[in-house]
Amino acid sequence: MEPARSQHEQELQRLTAGEDEVVAAIAQRRKLAGLPMWLWGVIVLFVLVGLFFIPGGAKQELEIAAEFDLEPLVELPTIGPFDLSITKAVVYLWIATAVIVVVAIVIARNIKPHPSRFQYAMEALYELAYDGITASVMKSGVSTWFPYVGAAFFFILVNNLVGLIPLPFGEHHQLSFYAATANLNVTITLALFTFLFTHYAGMKKNGPVTYIRNWMPKGAPPVLREFIFVIHIVSEVFRLISLSVRLFANMVAGHAILAVFFAMALIFQSYLAAVVLQGGSVLIYMFEIFVAVIQAFIFAILSAVYLGGALDQEH
Amino acid sequence: MDAEAAKLLGAGLSMGLGAVGPGVGLGILIGKALEGIARQPEVSGDIRTNMFIGIGVTEAVALYAFVVALILIFVA
């Protein structure tokens, strides 16, 4: 009995040997720079209350709509209905195009069998555009229409992300946020591409007459058939509207919220609001990065869905 | 109530009320998608893709309200 018991005690001692260290480590973790955590909380609270009593700076008028004004940077003549002046939207489109072209050339020139990190990231994006977006929703014509869907994805993605970098195209060349996709003209052009390509693809594959006849379900009774045909045409037009307005409204709403958060301290004239809301604006900014990626994804995948629907019509 | 006040009130109401439906819809949509993924993790890729399509279509409704609010403030 005696040796067995001492063995048991030894075992117990061995198991609990690290306990003191663990307790000390936990106690240490609850301290930051030698002070316990709750004391830090009290200090932060005092600082915030103190900030509340410091009077804010001069009151400043805020015009969020001015962020989206398009003043021409370079005046050019108007030809017919087209004003050719270079506005900041045009500059943003150029920047996005340049980024895409440079990245594509750099990647295409240095493809290695053992990819570098950058090449690996780009390959993952390409795979997302090919397998995740195009091939996952289109039954046929994937390789024919991937160039359009992939180009739309990367173009919108880069445009949205460039829009989150402040660039000096504001009033008097101040830094300001803008995105080319926060302009309805740009998004309608992109949506028109999808609209035209959808019907072009459908007519080319099925023949124009068959393509339009397939909008009427075969089994339906006569009057209902025409009614469904009209509904289908309305829904085609609404696809165009929803595709463009979704992207436009998302980018405008995101940039407006960012502008409000940045300017909230000026509106409330309080340092407390400034400290709290600048923290909030960081969170909103991170959410906007997420939205930028998601909107590019949704635009591309809906384009692929519409193209797939036109190519393989239900009869 | 003058016209300007009515405009602003209408814009606020359109955004606020217009966000209710899509909010509920998105909650149901994403909840069901997560339920599906939890039941069948092996098809999570397909479910996620279709979920994003659904999110795009549902969210557009709220953005119509946003555009109506913008039109009320700046155009009407």
Q: What are phi and psi of A220, to 5 degrees?
A: -75, 150
Q: Give A230-242 pLDDT, tens digit per residue.
A: 999 999 998 898 8
Residue from B46, B52, B55 to probe the interface with A (highest A Cβ count within 10 Å): B52
Rounded to an integer, the average pLDDT of B18-46 is 93
A2, pLDDT greater than 60: no
How far apart are alpha carbons A126 and A132 in whole angstroms? 9
Q: Give B35-57 pLDDT, tens digit per residue.
A: 999 999 999 888 988 898 888 88
The ipTM of this complex is 0.81
Domain boundaries, chain A: 60-311
**Which of A49-53, A112-116, B56-60, B65-69 has the least mean pLDDT?**
A49-53
**Which of A21-35, A119-133, A251-265 has the least mean pLDDT?**
A21-35
pLDDT of residue A28: 67
% of chain A exceeding 90 in pLDDT: 29
- Per the model's pLDDT, the better-predicted residue between A36 and A250 turns out to be A250
Please name the residue of chain B whose CA is at the shortest distance from the CA of residue A306. B53
The pTM of this model reads 0.81
What b/e string do you get for B6-42 counting C-beta neighbours within 10 Å, with b at 16 or more? ebeeebeebbeebeeebeebbeebeeebeebbeeeee
Our separate counts of H helices and E strands in chain A read 11, 4
Cβ within 8 Å, pair A242-B57:
yes
* pLDDT band per the 50, 70, 90 thresholds, residue A302: very high
Say which residue the tokens 């980018």 belong to.
Answer: A251
Rounded to an integer, the average pLDDT of B21-43 is 94
3-state class (DSSP) for residue A73? coil
Q: Is A103 on the interface with B (CB under 8 A)?
A: no
Q: Which CATH number fits domain B3-75: 3.20.20.150, 3.40.50.300, 1.20.20.10, 3.10.20.30?
A: 1.20.20.10
